[in-house]
Amino acid sequence: MAYFRVVSQQLAEMQKLFCRDDDWCILIMADPDALASALALKRLMRTRVRSVTIAHVNKISRPDNLAMIRHLHLPVLRWREALRGQAQRFAMVDSQPSHSPFFPDVDYAILIDHHPAPPEEDGPQAVFQDIRPSYGSVSTMMTEYLYGAGLRPGRLLATALQYGIRTDTGTFSRHCTDTDLRAYQYLARFADTALLERILRSEYLPQWLPYFSRAIESMRPCGRGRYTWLGRVGSADLLVVVADFFLRVLGLRWVAVCGESGGRLVAIFRGGGERLNLGAVAALTFEGLGTGGGHAAMARAEMALKNLPKKEEGGREDAEAFTFRCVHEAAERCQSASRARSGDVL
């Protein structure tokens, strides 16, 4: 039995499109799977066409994507109209033209994807297309193509493809098949484990570090959990990043990482446990003034700063003191409700 699905027919159809006089542009919405797949397609084309450019239409800001580009020396450009005239042929991997208004309106020669295909009556989106929604990642499909073409992936390409498979399958915890796992194992022969580890651990941008020190300095007990205040942050996502970090600390039952962003007070909850449902805490936090909810172990509450209660002597309450009080009271209410349910005697 062959190691992978036999792709010789598809490969031959695809290779028919390669011509030594053509410059190609591979378009992607950059994420690990798309970046790795584009690199693999470039490898398939390399000796058969004049040039290959990989262009992404989205801004790349996630640290793991930036780490992948840096450590694997991925040659990518941001798409701009000027690139249109520099290529005669266009390809797309891990997306379809309808997925983003930022994809240029060009004739695609190759389309390889694992997202659901549009209805058949809409017609093909490319001269050659291979759309397989059953696959966990396009990186798996590209590994099959490389194998079918008799090309051993180099160290950087193999590492990129492994990272693509890991990311899209949540390290094989969701939507994955035996083929995804087999491709991953096959790539392990060529990949660089230390490099992969380096990329996997690139979770933070250097400009985020001051928020971590603010979080650690401002941390204080809040019932059985901890509360931290980061003040004004550019994006509420930063509160999430910091809150996720504290999940790694043994013995912190739960943490609320709070701050102001875009004119709103935001509280991010992480941790929880059998006795305390953080979704319920978040729902009570800004009760009547904002919104809140989530799961038992991760939740979020927000309210507009303009809803801060007025003080008797005029002006508004201090945002930080108010947020602490709201979180503390909500947690105490949930804690005592759970004690009552479990029959604890106070």
Instruction: Choose the binding region for Mn ion from 80-88, 94-102, 120-128, 279-287 (rule: CB under 5 A).
Output: 94-102
Contact window for Mn ion (CB under 5 A) among 6-14, 165-173, 195-203, 255-263: 165-173
Query: How many whole angstroms separate alpha carbon 248 and alpha carbon 193?
Result: 23
Note the residue count of the chain: 346
DSSP three-state, residue 330? helix
- Looking at beta carbons only, is 95 or 228 nearer to Mn ion? 95
Least CB distance from residue 183 to Mn ion, whole Å?
Answer: 13
In the complex with Mn ion, which residue's Cβ is closer, 48 or 132? 132
Binding span for Mn ion by CB under 5 A among 26-34, 152-160, 212-220, 278-286 = 26-34
Which residues ranging from 122 to 161 are in contact with Mn ion (CB under 5 A)? none
Q: Which is nearer to Mn ion, 113 or 260 (CB)?
A: 113
Tokens 């004004």 label which residue? 232
Residue 33 touches Mn ion, criterion: CB under 5 A: yes
Locate all alpha helices (DSSP H) within the chain, ordered by sequence.
8-15, 32-45, 63-71, 138-148, 155-168, 178-188, 193-200, 209-218, 237-246, 278-285, 319-342
Shorter beta-carbon distance to Mn ion: residue 136 or 294:
136
Q: Which stretch binds Mn ion (CB under 5 A): 88-96, 126-134, 293-301, 330-338?
A: 88-96
Q: Minimum distance between the CB of residue 214 and Mn ion, rounded to whole angstroms? A: 35
Binding of residue 180 to Mn ion (CB under 5 A): no
- Determine phi and psi for 200, rounding to 5 degrees: -60, -35
Q: How far is the CB of 35 from Mn ion (least distance, A)?
A: 10
Q: Using CB under 5 A, which of the segments 93-101, 176-184, 216-224, 277-285 binds Mn ion?
A: 93-101
94 binds Mn ion (CB under 5 A): yes
Among residues 168, 180, 260, 302, the one that binds Mn ion under rule CB under 5 A = 168
Total residues binding Mn ion (CB under 5 A): 3
Report the SS3 class of residue 21.
coil
DSSP assignment of 284-309: HHTTTTEEEEE-SSEEEEEEEGGGSP
Q: CA-CA distance, 204 to 176, in Å (whole number)? A: 27
Smallest separation (angstroms) from Mn ion to the CB of 82: 28
CB closest to Mn ion, residue no: 33
* Minimum CB distance to Mn ion, residue 239 (Å): 28
**Sequence-separated (6 or more) residues with CB below 8 Å from residue 161:** 36, 37, 39, 40, 139, 142, 143, 153, 183, 187, 191
Closer to Mn ion at the Cβ: 168 or 302? 168
Q: Roughly how many angstroms between the first and final C-alpha of the chain, as a whole number?
A: 67
**Judged by CB, which is closer to Mn ion: 94, or 180?**
94
Listed residue (204, 267, 203, 200) closest to 233, CA to CA: 267
Indicate if the alpha-carbon torsion angle 116, 119, 124, 130 is positive or negative: positive
User: Please, which residue, 113 or 302, has the CB nearer to Mn ion?
Assistant: 113
Q: Residue numbers of the site for Mn ion (CB under 5 A)?
A: 33, 94, 168
